Structure 1
Amino acid sequence: MEIAKDLRDFLMTRRAKIAPDQVGLVSGRRRRVPGLRREEVAMLAGVSTEYYVQIERGQVAGVSDEILHSIATALQLDDVETTHLFDLARAATKHAGKRPGRVRSSRQTVPEGLQTLLDSMVTAPAIVQNGHLDIVAANALGRALYSEVFDRTTGTPNLARFIFLDDRADETFPDWEKAADDSVALLHVEAARAPYSKDVTGLVGALATRSEPFRTRWAEHDVVAHRRGTKTFHHQAVGDLTLRFEGLDVLGSAGLTLIGYTAEPGSPSQEALQLLASWAATEKTRQGENPVPAD
């Protein structure tokens, strides 16, 4: 990844989102850029304009955490955006003046016992995904919930590839726009955390080449944490399900997240989830166990 460019574009898109009156400044009539000017961000952060311009260009060697926090405050970054800024700055500093070495894989081994834990969750769908959105493990209900993704994928299923390149994606994920936004935002987080991972760079390159909606979203440089919320699915056998999810980091395995889903008690989605469990059991009996493909 081009770290200096990513850092520049991230800061530029963040300041473009802030109107001057949001930070107590007068917008004036002749404003050629949306949002804040560089000199305004510098003033709010308590640094010189020249110094801020240097930072926005990706020249962050020697920049203190205090300065980065001041910039994050000036740009009204949330916790996820602030962490992303620090990850970008750390990557830019580490590789300043150096050519990246051999591009490495960021794939991680699923910890021993995690599949057993997943399988014990018999009433809740659960999957484990890595930072670039491969589904690396699932329980029976999780596999059933994502059956369309598994069935239409050769090898390890990847949610970003499915969302942007499969013509059934908008049927599987009825709120496709949000699913697309979130997947790109999560990939931006991973790209800053592991900027020279061949899995990340290869995936981003492939999606940028083949999908205009992906390119548009990638240029926005939004980031998000996949911690909790709701997601809507459409399943061919049971119809629509709106489920709550909780995302938990897998300790000792940076980049792996366990995501569990539950339905509102007494809701149509809970009834659909029960039907999904019956469907999954029937499919297992008919076809036999079909585990998540190993790399």
Structure 2
Amino acid sequence: MGTHSELGDFLRVRRAALQPEDVGVLNYGIRRVPGLRREELAMLAGVSTTYYTRLEQGFSTNASEAVIEAIGRALNLSKDERLHLFNLARPEKVKRRLPAKPDKVRPGTLTLIQSMPGTPAVVLGRRSEVLAWNALGHRLVAGHVDFEAPQVPASRPNMTRLLFLDHHTRELYARWPEEAGRAVASLRLVAGKSADDQELASLVGELTLKSPEFAKLWARHPVENCMSGVKYLHHPEVGYLELNFEVLTPPDESGHRVLLYAAAPGSPSATTLALLQRPGGMEGVPRGLSAIKS
């Protein structure tokens, strides 16, 4: 993932998504390409067309913070997208170092999620690899995967890989396109911060080759820091679940995330989630108690 090419791709995609009328630019004549022209974007940002062109082509690597901010405003970028633009335009210089040791969950984090048996919890690394999960978290998102798999770096499941390449995981999400878009947008944000991460580049390359859907989404350059929301699941054991999720990030630079799920108190999903804790799942439960919604 070359930083300069990523920057150019991001700028071109975002420029093409803007129509002249969206930003108050008069539209004269027929346009050969969609979106704003380079000179129009440069005018809105208050920079020369030559300078902006060099930036988009990856020839300028010392853009000032003010210029980056101006381009972000001209492109109507969100807060997360502006952060991504800044990371691409001014990447941190990383000193050459020995290969990093395999990542592992912090003992305190592991103790925390294990102390919440009624709350599904999954600990993710920066590349969305599973570092740990509690019993309910495992049963909720990947019961078909060995519970001990996260303990061995070579066999760790990766939630983004599962989402695109594993049919069990694909069937789990009732709104798969929404979940897929969310996953790619989160991974894009991480990629912007980690241009030198070879394992991340390998993951993106694998998914691009094996999943046309991932490749199409990745090319759109979506960027979003997905910290909370709702997930809609069709669980193979208990049926339909509508769960709120929250992502907690430790105050260090590990890039770890603790993903927690919860159902609204008193809701049908709360009853269904409680059933998932039972060894037999829905065995012996009257049919229709957790009817699957479309």
Work out whether the TM-score is over 0.5: yes
State the partner residue of 1:178: 178
Identity %: 39
Q: Distance in 2 between matches of 1:89 and 1:104?
A: 25
Aligned-partner SS, 1:215: helix
In the alignment of these two chains, the number of paired residues is: 277
Asked whether the equivalents of residues 105 and 198 of structure 1 are also in contact (C-alpha less than 8 Å), the reply is no
Question: Counterpart of 1:256?
Answer: 256
Pick which of 146-155 and 135-144 moved more.
Answer: 146-155
Asked whether the equivalents of residues 142 and 169 of structure 2 are also in contact (C-alpha less than 8 Å), the reply is: no
Following TM superposition, the consecutive aligned residue runs of length 4 or more in structure 1 with deviations greater than 6 angstroms are none
5+ residue gaps, structure 2: 283-294
Shift of 1:112: 2.5
| Structure 1 position 56, deviation (Å) | 1.0
Summarize deviations over 1:232-269 as a string: whole Å, max 9, x none. 12222111111011112122143211111111122111
TM-score w.r.t. structure 2 length? 0.87
Unmatched tracts of structure 1, length 5 or more:
283-295
Partner of 1:285: none
Alignment partner, residue 77 of structure 1? 77
* 1:229 correspondence with 2:229: yes
> Within the alignment, does 1:113 sit opposite 2:117 as a pair?
no
Q: Does 1:270 align with 2:270?
A: yes
- Does residue 126 (structure 1) correspond to residue 121 (structure 2)? The answer is yes
Q: Does the 8 A contact of 1:174 with 1:233 survive in 2?
A: yes
What is the match of residue 209 of structure 2? 209
SS of residue matched to 1:170: helix
CA distances 1:201-244 after superposition (whole Å, capped 9, x unpaired): 11111111211111111111111112110011222211111101
Task: Tell whether 2:198 aligns with 1:198.
Answer: yes
Name the aligned partner's letter for residue 62 of structure 1.
N
Tell me the secondary structure at the aligned position of residue 29 of structure 2: coil
Tell me the residue number matched to 1:47: 47
Output the TM-score relative to the length of structure 1: 0.86
Aligned equivalent of 1:286 = none
Letter in structure 1 aligned against 2:6:
D
Query: Are positions 1:137 and 2:132 aligned together?
Result: yes
**In the alignment, residue 128 of structure 2 is paired with which amino acid?**
L
* Partner SS state of residue 240, structure 1: strand
Q: Are the counterparts in 2 of residues 148 and 172 from structure 1 also a CA contact under 8 Å?
A: no
SS of aligned partner of 2:32:
coil
Kindly indicate whether residue 56 of structure 2 is the aligned counterpart of residue 56 of structure 1: yes
Closer, same or farther: CA 58–103 of 1 in aligned 2, 3 Å = farther
Q: State the Cα deviation string for residues 164-195 of structure 1 (Å, max 9, x = none).
A: 11122331112111122122222211221111
Match of 1:67 in 2: 67
Map Cα deviations across residues 274-293 of structure 1 (whole Å, 9 max, x no partner).
111223899xxxxxxxxxxx
Q: Distance in 2 between matches of 1:212 and 1:148?
A: 26
Larger deviation: 175-184 or 41-50?
175-184
Residue 15 of structure 1 contacts residue 75 of structure 1 at CA under 8 Å; is this kept in 2? yes
RCO comparison, higher one (Cα < 8 Å, 6+): 1
CA contact (8 A) 2:237 2:281 kept: no
Amino acid aligned to 1:83: L
Distance in 2, matches of 1:203 and 1:80, equals 22
Taking a change above 3 Å as real, the CA distance of residues 49 and 107 of structure 1, as seen in their structure-2 partners, is: farther
Shift of 1:103: 9.0
* SS of equivalent residue, structure 1 residue 261: strand
Matched, 1:10 2:10: yes
Instruction: Measure, in 2, the Cα distance between the counterparts of 1:226 and 1:218.
Output: 16
Aligned-pair Cα RMSD in Å: 2.4
CA offset digits 1:123-171 (Å, max 9, x no partner): 2211111221111111222112113463497821111111111122331
Q: Secondary structure, in 3 states, of the residue corresponding to 1:168?
A: helix
> Would the alpha carbon gap of residues 32 and 196 (structure 1) be closer, same or farther in structure 2, given more than 3 Å must change?
same
Which residue pairs with 1:288 in the alignment?
none
CA distance in 2, matches of 1:176, 1:106: 34
Partner of 1:291: none
Does the 8 Å contact 1:125/1:260 carry over to 2? yes
Tell me the distance in 2 between the aligned counterparts of 1:166 and 1:276.
22
Deviation at 1:73, TM superposition (A): 0.5
The 1:195–1:280 alpha-carbon spacing in structure 2 relative to 1, beyond 3 Å, is farther
Please say if residues 134 and 159 of structure 1, whose CA atoms lie closer than 8 Å, have aligned partners that are also in contact. Answer: yes
Matched AA of 1:20: P
